[in-house]
Structure 1
Amino acid sequence: MARGKLLVIFLMLAIICPVMTSCFDAKEVDDMGFVIALGLDKGKTNALRMTLQIAKPMAGDNGGGGGKDDGLPYAQFSVEAPSIYSGLNMINTSASKQISLTHIKVVVFSSELAREGLGPYLHAMVRGREFRPNMPIVVARNTAEEYLESVDPKLVVNATKYYELVYQSYKYTGLIPKVEFHDFYLSSESLCKNPVAILGNTAKFQSVDEFDLKDSTYLEHGRSSPFEGDFYAGDIPALGGSRSENIGLAVFDGDRMVGELDGTNTTFHLLCTGDFVHSYWNVPDPLSEGHYVLLDIKQSRKPRHHVEIVEGKPVIHLTFNLEGDLLSVQSTIDYEAGDNSMILESAVESYIIDQLLQYLDKTVNEFQSDICGFGTHARGLFTTWAEWEAYQWKSKYKDATFTVDVNFKVRRPGLILRSKSSVTSESGSDTQ
């Protein structure tokens, strides 16, 4: 009986004691400085200039020391070092808290660094446990340090929340790509796809009197005035909010940046990759020159890709299924039903096909980079991996040709069932 009691007590202690112990390497959250944004530039005194934004856990907390404190919800540090982790060691000598990358929200590379190749830095991030695989990758057209300095959240108090939200805007604008670190890294080493990054910059305009369109791309798209996507980051005629701008994408060949695309082409990139959700589009009015029809266009299903190899060259067939809601008809022509609705749908299809072919032509002839991942659909055409490697898809992509089919339907007319012109005192009647 006594032995039974001793056995029960022993088993209870064996179960309870491990539960009551703590981790030997546990660290208090208040003892850590959490980096929310990391910027990498070429250094002057060393290989790399690192810029870190470290979140302040409470209002009035300086987050350590040695950083800039101007009322922002983070402290910013800069250091020049031979590598990322040696830079962390150097910053830890002046910050009172141990620096941690476990909550990092974005990594920003300067375009100068990106054009030389990001391979050494990508490998360091992949090996490190602290870098999150879903963090966005941004390429700053100026420097990463200037870009991060221009970030000034206006609508959120928490800087972490700002970074979580701002790079999700592709879902409702279509003006930046969907980019996550693990996809970027895998694409840089893939045989069938090249990566892209979000294009960022600091706004160049200080007042409305400085607004101009000299750097807009609207003429390249054959327009008399710019649409919202006809700009690169930093060139948007806008004021207010944070001075950091994100529009367009950086094109890569492997780990090396080879070019840029504006916001309009980024929208069609999202269409091709299937990441497009919805956005507002201006489409030329097919029955009234000089007017536009505003639509809220959505992707009704993922695009279909079919790849063939004809005489050694890729032939890529694309099919898109889209739908949209009427938001505004400047000409007041009744596009809600009947033949006019079919005319509008046909015009939208032709417009999208034309813009898609312009975008695809840039990827083939200007950049020679398969950033849409069409190669993933071509792998199945080869019976062995050795044959696929020998074909060298990335070098063959420059010879690719495309056929594009778009199916578009107007689903809803908004809250107006039939468009009508206004009645004036001079007309005295409906002009429709």
Structure 2
Amino acid sequence: MPAYLDHAATTPLSAGALAAMTRELARTGNPSSLHGAGRRARRVVEDARETVAAAAGAHPSEVIFTSGGTEADNLAVKGLYWARVAADPTRRRILCSAVEHHAVLDTVEWLERHEGAQVTWLPVDAAGVLDLEVLAAEIARDPKSVALVTVMWANNEVGTVQPISRIVEIASASGIPVHSDAVQAFGSVQVDFKASGLAAMSVSGHKIGGPVGVGALLLGRAVTLTPVQHGGGQERNVRSGTLDTPSIAAFAAAAEGAAAALGPDALRIAELRDRLVAGVLDRVPSAVLRGAPAPDRLPGNAHFTFPGCEGDSLLFLLDLAGVESSTGSACTAGVPRPSHVLLAMGLDEETARGAQRFTLGHSSTEADVDALLTALPEAYARARQAGMAGHESSIQTAGTVARQGTGAGFA
């Protein structure tokens, strides 16, 4: 059984979520229908809405179910922008952190290209923390022109947790709504939508033990949002589409389980992470841990750069040894691209290309960490032998090196 160390990408389905989904898949009923089957499905959806709201610190009416975090991000950023511009055409500025997930990053860039948005990319420090002074200065120079601020709650690559309450405080003083992508934070750290003061917050099911294909946008009851898609107006006339009752039920079960176990589970996972970090630095002293230190870091995140090797090569070699990890960076058309997050944190391209992200979750064990620490020294040595070549040639070289090796785990 491989050691799965990529929980930031997706988590295994929890037992509670699997049971809830299986139960609802065996039933029928459109929750918008008025007959008995429809009313039963509607009760399941509304019960799930209350459960997710309780886990996120929101009122049930503030939960808008979506197909996942990407849709929730698109709905929040586009919907807020369009609504704000409709109320005042001079509100064209979007203030966005430079380390956002592509679900936000690409949405903002699309608004810039097609909808006349004027984008300011907010810088971060070497740990990935937003520069609050720049945020305040950008707002102060023309607050009436700002449509919205969007800053993720916690970074999906390096695990840095942002000072959301301070960000909202700065923006709210000028009446500017703030959206936060909380996909990585929800279920890992304490997230309270009401207490945060956010106008909108995105969460996803498959990051917390729920299924892929379901998520939610938490939207303040007084917040105006222009719909992105149109149809039946099922969710507050903001998000149309037939609701996926089985997935929503499973999402709620996962959210309830994650919220109930948050304290002890976060502590257990953080202890595993600390053991992993210490072990990696002991076995590869040249490795550098990236991101903010605890407690301003997600409990399950350990992100390193390994000098002298391509991150994809190291990933490939670890995979051959039964350890599943991630580079955390994008790759297009077979050409390695350094992470925009690491570049924003001040790393050069060569250093950024040596990234490897190990992330833990609810099913992680000591054995997973042991497997990594056993496999890493040889995998790193062979990745360095492959070198910082082009993407395809580097992976091919790494595979050849692995096949020629005689070390345990690389047969």
In our comparison, the structure showing a higher alpha carbon Rg is: 1
Q: Relative contact order (C-alpha < 8 Å, sep 6+): which is higher?
A: 2
Q: TM-score, normalised by structure 1?
A: 0.25
Q: TM-score, normalised by structure 2?
A: 0.26
Select the structure that is richer in helix: 2
